[in-house]
Structure 1
Amino acid sequence: MKTAAVLPANQKRRINTLRAVMLVMVPLVLFTRPGLPLGEGVMDLVESTGMLLVIAGVLGRFWSILYIGSRKNALVMQDGPYSMCRHPLYLFSTLAVFGFGLMLGSLILTVLMTTLVFLVLSDIARKEEAFLRAEFGPAYDAYAARTPRILPRLRQFSSPATVTFDTGTLRRNFFDALVFLSLIPVSELTEHLKDIHTLPTLPLF
Structure 2
Amino acid sequence: MTLGQGDSTDTRPPPRRFWIARFVCALILGLYLVSRSGWEEISVVLAHLTASLGLVLAVIGALGRVWCSSYAAGNKNVVLLVDGPYSVTRNPLYFFSFVGGLGVVLATQTVVIPVLFAACYALYFGRVIRKEEAFLSAWHKGLYERYRARVPRFWPDWSLFTEPAKWTIRPLPFRRSLVEVSWFAIAAIVLHTLHDFRDLMGWPAIFVAY
Paired positions, count: 199
1:102/1:48 CA distance change after superposition, 3 Å? same
Partner of 2:56: helix, strand, or coil?
helix
Is 1:74 the counterpart of 2:78? The answer is: yes
The C-alpha deviation readout for 1:47-71, integer Å capped at 9, x for no partner, is: 1111011011011000001111201
CA contact (8 A) 2:80 2:140 kept: yes
Which residue number corresponds to residue 171 of structure 1? 175
Choose which of 88, 92, 95 in structure 2 pairs with 1:88. Answer: 92
Is 1:203 the counterpart of 2:181? The answer is: no
Identify which range, 186-195 or 76-85, moves more after superposition: 186-195
Gaps of 5+ in 2: 1-9
Is 1:60 the counterpart of 2:64? The answer is: yes
Choose which of 37, 40, 61 in structure 2 pairs with 1:34. Answer: 37
Give the superposed CA RMSD: 1.8
Which residue number corresponds to residue 108 of structure 1? 112
Partner of 1:182: helix, strand, or coil?
helix
Which residue number corresponds to residue 146 of structure 1? 150
Hey, what's the Cα distance between the residues in 2 that align with 1:113 and 1:192?
A: 22
Q: Which runs of at least 4 in structure 1 moved beyond 6 Å after TM superposition? A: none
> How much has 1:187 moved relative to structure 2?
1.4
> How much has 1:8 moved relative to structure 2?
4.8
Identity %: 31
Scaled by the length of structure 2, what TM-score is found?
A: 0.87
Choose which of 176, 180, 194 in structure 1 pairs with 2:198. Answer: 194
Scaled by the length of structure 1, what TM-score is found?
A: 0.89
Which residue number corresponds to residue 4 of structure 1? none
Hey, what's the Cα distance between the residues in 2 that align with 1:27 and 1:66?
A: 34
CA contact (8 A) 1:9 1:131 kept: no
